[in-house]
Amino acid sequence: MTAAVPGSSEYVPARVRAGGKPSVENCFGCPDEITRVTRRGTRVRACARSGTVVYKTPAYPKWPGCGGMTEPEEDLPVKRCTHCGEEKPLDAFPRDRASPDGRFRWCKTCNNARSREYYARKKATPDVVKPAKWIVLHCETCGKEMRYRRSEIESRRRRGVPVPRFCSIRCRGMAQRREPDQAGGA
């Protein structure tokens, strides 16, 4: 017994022999080559047996001039750009969930120009240097570094609480013994 060749009248695909459904859309007379459209709108032609993709094409070209599509149909929804005033199809506007029609009020061309201007202006201005998060104070007795958060020191100054001058009680006591009337603060 010889095996039937794909494309011949007696050939039965393996998945049909196993109880599966036959291909609905066939290509070039081969019963195992099928065409399907994915969720993203791509038309894929593949072999049902091996799973190899023969070719992929966009199912619905997005704009005139892409994939041989002619002028857009007249019944496509259009919108007027509030910046340039031109009427363009909805595909020419970026998406915006806050908008009732789901598209931004400026077209992509105007929106891109605005973004370019913003980033050029931002690049031209010098960066603002943030103040350091930590402040280093030195103990008046031993000279040891004490690190404090800037926010804490600023809060103490606003409230009128003295800024720390000593690293420990020991250094504070030594300063009091040297100058009893000046070393009373924290």
Question: Over the stretch 106-136, which tens digit does the pLDDT of each residue have?
Answer: 999 999 999 999 999 988 888 778 888 999 9
The pLDDT tens digits of the residues spanning 4-14 come to 555 555 655 55
User: What does the block give as tokens for 123?
Assistant: 């690049």
Per the CB < 8 A criterion, the answer to whether 106 and 132 are in contact is: no
The pLDDT tens digits of the residues spanning 66-106 come to 544 444 445 668 899 999 999 998 889 999 999 888 899 99
- DSSP assignment of 76-93 equals S-EEE-TTT--EEEGGGS
Q: Determine the Cα angle at 45 with ends 27 and 2, to 5°.
A: 50
With a CB cutoff of 8 Å and minimum separation 6, the contacts of 14 are: 32, 49
Q: Could you tell me the pLDDT band of residue 159, with boundaries at 50, 70 and 90?
A: very high
Q: Is the pTM of this model over 0.85?
A: no
Q: Determine the Cα angle at 21 with ends 20 and 27, to 5°.
A: 120
